[in-house]
Structure 1
């Protein structure tokens, strides 16, 4: 059972800030916030949405190909999720389990005066990066808005509340300020050149069809980082995007440890789809995205014989398409029975998102495509969550490793669920 959702507006540090800066700034923030969100009802899960508000040092999101900024944004997400997991481990706060907190991170673009006015407040399908006006107008309901002390935090909260007051009639949720610490920026970082959106433009490809695969059992922060990277890699400027999410079939998981606690394919697909929806679609609150067969968000269940034949297809339509072109995003949740899935049956897929642990799998996919005479996929890699973020010394890191891993491992989650049942 899910409790009401809270929102944290968290200023992204400057682009070249280090993980130490992130820890210095926001460890105290999460130490204050996570314990207070822990639900009293041990059967419930409290949800926290985090809007990471981009600083001026980041490329303007609407002017930059997502492929060009993939590394920058996924690193920001990785550092944030790593710090959250580290603090949760130290504070003994469960993540993504009953009695714990379900945390989801997306990116907010605050520079609405610099993006085309035709886009301001009108980017319902641009997630996981969305302008702050579109976000304020979206169909999100929060019981509390948290922000951080300091000039940047105050500025973002003011922008959020001002936009709310000018465009919405109801009262905004109550706001609470959380402590934050000073950022530490290394000398080498301050001397470095800022990111240029013109560097390597010739080699940057905008992808309209991207893929990822995984078990997605007991969806956790590692999965969330991978899925967010996948949505990020699909270019919003393309009229029609296809995101293929391969979800491993049940028959391949029977030998997993604590297999009796492996979730069914249907449940894993549903939870994956619910998470993707929360970081992709920001429809205005006055619309009815799920109304009827012609709604903005529709779901189709496909079950054809043969490999990759079982698909749950979710289609998102834009509110305002260009003349003669219907803008949309289609997400295919495909049951896979081998390590390759649709990447070797669909020649139009052009990019694959992997984690560092599955690098060999990405190479195997491209080897198969080369054998078929197909173009190789561009491979985007998300980083590994770092237990050392937020930890003071080596001994503490060793002590924490076990609890950190338990929050980003499906096997450990299943083990804990089994222990709870005994």
Structure 2
């Protein structure tokens, strides 16, 4: 095993094999590898989940039935990487968690277009693989850098307590569609961070044809804290487009500016599902009321659980670590403002 780099590289790729539900249900086994990769990457870490579980149904998991399982896994993977980076003072550290198979074979082929060689400034400087992982890499991956390192990995045993409450929910008595043709979500998406990426990825997972992303217009955000450091609408839309294309290049999507809580959900009869965070549940209720008053079909609502809303008892030891992570645009703007102020002193 080659010794690990003595100083961080700028960009890197971490390959995580998730071949079975065992790995999906026990993300803690990946923490040491994620921590090491995060410590040794200064700017941008891409985590690629090598798995058949994320293929479009019926080949992969039905995401609507396993909503809690998948969002918990994503949250813990993102959370551990961000937690380590923030402890090192790298608040602007970027992490992308990408799923093999999402969007089918064509999606895998198109995902990495334009990302080939590190010397051209488009690829990764280093690739991290897990100890004992000798699985064949997908042919869709671009040319990987010659610098490859092995990170320690100890698979954890599967216990019955690992199975979340949603594991058996997709029963014949209460079936859910595996996905919904058109899914909507909204937000400010300022300084897009891990919390946004979890929200977007889950929405992408349950959308089979089209994703509609409502982005708060600049005028809606003027009273936000440290509004002078808000990204302009054009940049926020551009960054959203890049992220959606990375996660599922096969999905049709529309990114629209919104001037109120409703956006396209106020008039579009084609939307079937809505993805919310805990902070936007009230907005979801307003949308449901509006659509009912205007004889539009009701929307199935999915909610992303936010760790900060849970008690210490509910969180457990693992969750308490996650509570340290600040996934907030306000936090990022505050950090930028403090850095700017310190330069003026």
1:404 aligns with 2:325: yes
Which of 22, 32, 38 in structure 2 is aligned with 1:34? 38
* Cα distance change on mapping 1:352 and 1:273 into 2, 3 Å: same
* Cα distance change on mapping 1:109 and 1:224 into 2, 3 Å: same
In the other structure, the counterpart of 1:301 is none
* Cα distance change on mapping 1:412 and 1:214 into 2, 3 Å: same
What do residues 57-86 of structure 1 show as CA deviations (whole Å, max 9, x unaligned)? 999763554434444322321221122233
Which of 3, 8, 12 in structure 2 is aligned with 1:6? 12
In the other structure, the counterpart of 1:228 is 201
Q: Write the mapping of 1:70-89 to structure 2, written as runs, cut at 5 A.
A: 70-89=67-86
Task: Give me the whole-angstrom Cα distance separating, in 2, the residues matched to 1:8 and 1:338.
Answer: 39
- Secondary structure of 1:67's counterpart equals coil
In the other structure, the counterpart of 2:27 is 22
- Secondary structure of 2:190's counterpart equals coil
Q: CA RMSD in A?
A: 3.9
In the other structure, the counterpart of 2:239 is 271
1:360 positional shift: 2.1
Task: Give me the whole-angstrom Cα distance separating, in 2, the residues matched to 1:342 and 1:56.
Answer: 31
What stretches of structure 2 of length at least 5 have no aligned partner? 1-8, 117-123
Q: Give yes or no for contact 1:352–1:378 (8 Å, CA) kept in 2.
A: yes
* Cα distance change on mapping 1:252 and 1:189 into 2, 3 Å: closer
1:368 aligns with 2:274: no
Q: Give yes or no for contact 2:273–2:300 (8 Å, CA) kept in 1.
A: yes
In the other structure, the counterpart of 2:5 is none
Which of 160, 177, 188 in structure 2 is aligned with 1:204? 177
User: TM-score, normalising length from structure 1?
Assistant: 0.65
What do residues 261-309 of structure 1 show as CA deviations (whole Å, max 9, x unaligned)? 111111111111122122122xxxxxxxxxxxxxxxxxxxxxxxxxxxx
In the other structure, the counterpart of 1:177 is 150
In the other structure, the counterpart of 2:254 is 332
Rg larger in structure: 1
What do residues 20-66 of structure 1 show as CA deviations (whole Å, max 9, x unaligned)? x433x22221232212111xxxxxxx222111233789997635544
Task: Give me the whole-angstrom Cα distance separating, in 1, the residues matched to 2:115 and 2:301.
Answer: 33
Q: Give yes or no for contact 2:112–2:142 (8 Å, CA) kept in 1.
A: no
